[in-house]
Chain A
Amino acid sequence: MDHSPSPALNVRGLSVTFGTRQGPVPAVVDVDLDVAPGELVALLGESGSGKSVTARAVMGLSTGNASVTAEQIRLGDTDLLALPESEHRKLRGARMSLVFQDALSALNPVLSIGDQIGELFRTHRGMSRRQARAEAVNLLGQVGIPAPTRRVNDYPHQFSGGMRQRILIAMAIALRPELIIADEPTTALDVTVQAQILELLDSLRRELNMAVLLITHDLGVVSEVADRILVMYAGRIVESGTADDLLSRPGHPYTQALLRSVPQADTRGQELYAIPGSPPSPANQPSGCPFHPRCTWAVDECKTTRPLLTLLAGGRAAACHRTEEVLDAAVTG
């Protein structure tokens, strides 16, 4: 499934299991994922599907009760699995960075923005305070903060939500990383601000040739910016492919159902397609295919045998026993 000779991020067989009082809970199981330089890949899923856990595992930021296993996690030519924590830490911010969803809690309220951005340059590049401050002003201008020389001394609470998100993006791109993971970067924002932030991410990855892994649950956002899409359900990737293929012709019933349940202009006034039930909790997953209790395509086989993620024509993949039929239905229906 290689899309480029040297992907910026290359993950094989990633699993994350949380140890809880009720026993081990598998949150992410056997995830493969590639992001090429300059490519924007969307990881689409609902809450509890494991998308944020995946992001944290890649960044090496998993919590203490998580056990992370993988065959391979490579950032460019660096094997992250073999790296000691101290070395891993040096990569974070410099070669890969994470944009959090909630900008207000991701920023330190008692440090000025200039100090927070400058810290990256001082720690990773050994710059002086003055140089770091100048770089911070530069970056703020680059992400579209008006009057950056003045605003660099302000504190997080003095910025609006959209501005704070821009500041997080500024910090993420500060050291020109190869990979940015953006975890629901626009979920807390209004649509007009969301459009600005998505545009910013899109132009930055084009100009700086960064690989972007965008984590989201919003099909509209995905449709607007993604090159490729990975759909997660109950901790596994259930479908992957180019955004064009996947959105116009979904190969997994879950993707298909999600797309049908979104209100569209021409379905106004009609009943929306509603997926029955709710997503399973990672601690209590159904047997066989985890989607089968909610699936209209389910047959007996689905209750007992979990379908594997299978390669299809055109470089796409889906984990469903009836993919071919689902694909055909998308064309005729």
Chain B
Amino acid sequence: MQPSPGDVVLDAQNLHKTFRGGRGQAGRTRVSAVDGINLTLAAGESLGIVGESGCGKTTLARMLVGLDRPDTGTIMVHGRDIAHARGGDLRELRRRVQMVFQDPYTSLDPRMTVLELIGEPLVVHRLMPNAAARRDRVAELLALVGLAPELMNRYPHQFSGGQRQRIGIARALALEPEVLVCDEPVSALDVSVQAQVVNLLRDLQKRMNIAMVFIAHDLSVVRHVADRTAVMYLGRLAEVGETDTVYDQPAHPYTQALLSASPVVDRANRGRMANRIPLAGDPPSPTDPPAGCRFHTRCRLSKDLCGREQPQLLAIGGDANRVAACHFADESLADARERAEAA
């Protein structure tokens, strides 16, 4: 059953995840990795998630595919909750949400052939007990990701990084998922190979109407791929909106700082980075996140209120598709416009 475009295929509400860390000065430390995240994903849509290391991107991804269980919150797929499913139910739901991992050098078992690697999900889910049929299906999947089917008896080490990532993608597609969660799918690849994999993912997504969560720290790649973009900071969403809106008129001070610091290949705009919006200090430790708005310790617009009260994700400028968690989002937006005009 293929969902039609516009249907919600994944609905995560109020996700929280805290890890227990090593012993600190006051007993065990607790790392609040994801703190109250809501996300919905429509069929065929691509959602980009950006944020710095340690902001909880990967934890979020792992919860969406059912590799980690959230402490609280629900992840609804087809009206059932992955976060609380067990046994056969969980397996059924996992089939619909698959993951492409970051590092194609460590995420493929070096002792399995490509046939075994791509066929494994089919075996686990008992979808294709017949070995000959499975072989045909693997050949089909290899062709889909642009690899020659004759290569299926080779081992991962015989492939280049880009080819291995194609194998990882074929493996994720073997179960015909509705949602593909890609955690930094191109950051381990050579620059000249990244574009191949980005194009492949987009092409597959369009052709197969798969919804995609695309996590990356490279802002320009996310801009290229994502229909909507979510910005994370220390376990919370700072801003979510249409990609063009978020990149062209960022409303959250963190989004503004992040975008202004990311280098762009454009010699005419050289010095753009020198005029970037400065971020005070280093990112705070997630073991001891600041009270109120988690960004207030580094924010240029911070006021007393920000240290006391956590801002909610609210619509900006009457656009319901565009939300930001900032008490002073309107001021911030106006300030950013002024800066853009001055520059």
Contacts and interface: CB of A to CB of B under 8 A. Distances in A.
Interface of A: 46-47, 146, 160-163, 190-195, 198-199, 217-224, 243-244, 247-248, 257-259, 261-265, 267-269, 271-276, 278-279, 294
Given A163-B282, A278-B161, A258 B192 contact: yes
Given A223-B270, A247-B267, A263-B198, A275 B247 contact: no
B273 interface: yes
A271 B162 CA distance: 17
Given A195-B273, A243-B267, A274-B199, A219 B217 contact: no
A96 B243 CA distance: 45
* 10 interchain residue pairs of minimum CB distance: A220-B263, A263-B224, A190-B52, A261-B195, A195-B261, A274-B195, A272-B195, A278-B160, A274-B196, A275-B192
Contacts of B160: 278
B195 to A, nearest CB: 4
B262 A220 contact: yes
Given A191-B258, A192-B261, A261-B195, A46 B190 contact: yes
A230 to B, nearest CB: 16
Nearest to B282: A160
A247 B161 contact: no
Contact of A190 (B193, B196, B217, B223): B217
A274 B163 CA distance: 14
Contacts of B194: 261
Chain A CB count within 10 A is highest, among B203, B224, B272, for: B224
Contacts of B266: 223, 264
Contacts of B270: 223-224
Nearest to A233: B192
B219 interface: yes
Nearest to A257: B192
B273 A263 contact: no
B21 to A, nearest CB: 14
Nearest to B277: A192
Contact of A278 (B193, B263, B273): B193
A38 B266 CA distance: 23
A268 B243 contact: yes
Given A46-B190, A192-B279, A223 B224 contact: no
B314 interface: no
Contacts of B219: 191
28 contacts: A146-B281, A190-B53, A191-B261, A191-B262, A192-B258, A193-B282, A194-B261, A195-B261, A195-B276, A198-B263, A217-B191, A218-B191, A218-B263, A219-B191, A220-B220, A223-B266, A224-B272, A224-B273, A261-B194, A261-B195, A263-B198, A264-B264, A265-B247, A268-B244, A272-B195, A274-B199, A278-B190, A278-B193
B267 A263 contact: no
A273 B194 CA distance: 10
B221 interface: yes
B288 to A, nearest CB: 14
Interface in B249-287: 257-258, 261-267, 270, 272-274, 276, 279, 281-283
Nearest to B197: A274
Contacts of A219: 191, 265
Interface string B10-51: 000000000000000000000000000000000000000000
B221 A263 contact: yes
A146 to B, nearest CB: 8
A279 B199 CA distance: 18
B264 A220 contact: yes
Given A190-B52, A263-B224, A268-B243, A275 B264 contact: no
A264 B224 CA distance: 7
A199 B279 CA distance: 14
Interface string B173-197: 0000000000000000011111110
Interface string B193-224: 11110110011000000000000010111011
Given A244-B267, A279-B190, A263 B223 contact: yes
Given A261-B195, A275-B195, A198 B273 contact: yes
Contacts of B283: 160, 190
A194 B258 CA distance: 11
A258 B243 CA distance: 24
Given A223-B267, A265-B247, A279-B190, A271 B199 contact: yes
A223 B264 contact: yes
B274 A199 contact: yes
Nearest to A276: B196
Given A194-B263, A276-B196, 20 more contacts: A161-B53, A190-B52, A192-B257, A219-B191, A220-B264, A223-B265, A243-B267, A261-B192, A261-B195, A262-B220, A263-B198, A264-B266, A265-B223, A267-B224, A269-B224, A274-B195, A275-B192, A275-B193, A279-B192, A279-B193
Chain B CB count within 10 A is highest, among A198, A257, A265, for: A265
Nearest to A195: B261
Given A262-B220, A278-B161, A278-B193, A272 B199 contact: yes
A77 B95 CA distance: 66
Chain B CB count within 10 A is highest, among A199, A223, A279, for: A223
Chain B CB count within 10 A is highest, among A191, A221, A248, for: A191
Nearest to B193: A278
A267 B194 CA distance: 16
A296 to B, nearest CB: 13
Contacts of B195: 261, 263, 272-275
Contact of A46 (B191, B221, B243, B257): B191
Contact of B265 (A198, A262, A274): A262
B273 A199 contact: yes
Contacts of A271: 199, 202-203
B289 to A, nearest CB: 15
A160 B52 CA distance: 13
A80 to B, nearest CB: 31
A6 B55 CA distance: 48
B308 to A, nearest CB: 25
A259 B265 contact: yes
